[in-house]
Structure 1
Amino acid sequence: MELLAIEHPTDEDVASHEEVVQALQSLSEADLLRLKQLAKLRCAGLHVMDWEDLLNEAVTRVLAGNRRWPRAVPFVAFMAQTFRSIASEEWRRLEVANTTSESDLSDSDGTSPLESAALDPIHPGREVLARKALEEIEALFSADPSAMAVLQGFAQGYTPEEIMGQNGLTSTQYATLQRRIRRKLGKHFS
């Protein structure tokens, strides 16, 4: 079996500092808005940084030369991947810092808080908010049966493969539906 060699860009394939500065200065309003939205999406749920921090960190790394822009990649796409990389680093850091075993949480009598949490009743206010959110999602996708089928599959705990099989979707169609769902939910709940 032959392994494929991964080609790393050479110095000639990556943009110089001046080219990066020029690319940053020539971003259009639409590009800046797209980068803002991408940064917001990457920071969703990430409490250690907001979208502005992520954008600033990405620009800093690119200008410092820590992230090198391959000329063959469009600049906005390169920045989007830089956002992804930085956000992934933060998620990994949080995951390691927040890893706790169930035995670390046990009370002095040996009772697991996970057991007691499972027995705790759901707060009525949270239940009302959850039902309202579900109703909004159903209304949002009522005219999109394919997206609704994917959402229902998620809700029932099916794997992506099971959802695709049950709905006759190819992996490309499934990925397209996921993007459409994410965009609609992001726009509606932002």
Structure 2
Amino acid sequence: MSQEFDEHDDPPVTGARLTLAQVDAAIRALAASAADWSRLETIAGVLCGGVSELTGDDLLQEALTRFMEGRRVWPADVHPVVVVKNAMRSIASDARKRAELSPVDETVALADGQPTDETDVRRQAQGKVTITPEDSLSGKEQLVAVYAAVAGDEDLEMLVMAWADGLRGDEAAKALDWDKKKYEAARKRLERRLKTVDPDRRTK
């Protein structure tokens, strides 16, 4: 089943923005970076959690398509991964809201049953089996909450992505091209934000 996406996006960007040619170049650069593309795929997989029939690949491709068609503005001076992540979050949020308002239970699939006679061609409904390990689901929900908690703060968004890649300390700072002072300042701010997501969290 193809996924239909709402045309609604975030409020218009008021600052500098990229032209369509610049957007194309930015997307090509993202695709050429194995690290950045892997981050986007991971983020897409997290953000699409809980939305029936929406895969991470669907979400990522829809976000890029909107940028390339000019339906969504690409703000300048913002890291490309953050730009695409914000677009995917908006699209996934819209899809999730529509699913909640839909009168159709998307966990039930219609299937053709075997007719009891030539005139009985009624449709039957059968449950759709979905494999969603609790640990995986809770992990996705936690990441969604973390991304929401740092939304709008580019440094913290980038740090979350680095941590999600398993990078810490000097390795994370190097990957982000930050000096130690900037990394430590961002780390402390992120720890404070994370406490709003998990009040019982303890800084190691």
When you count helix as a share of all residues, which structure comes out higher? 1
- The structure with higher relative contact order (CA 8 Å, sep 6+) is 2
Highest Rg: 1 or 2? 1
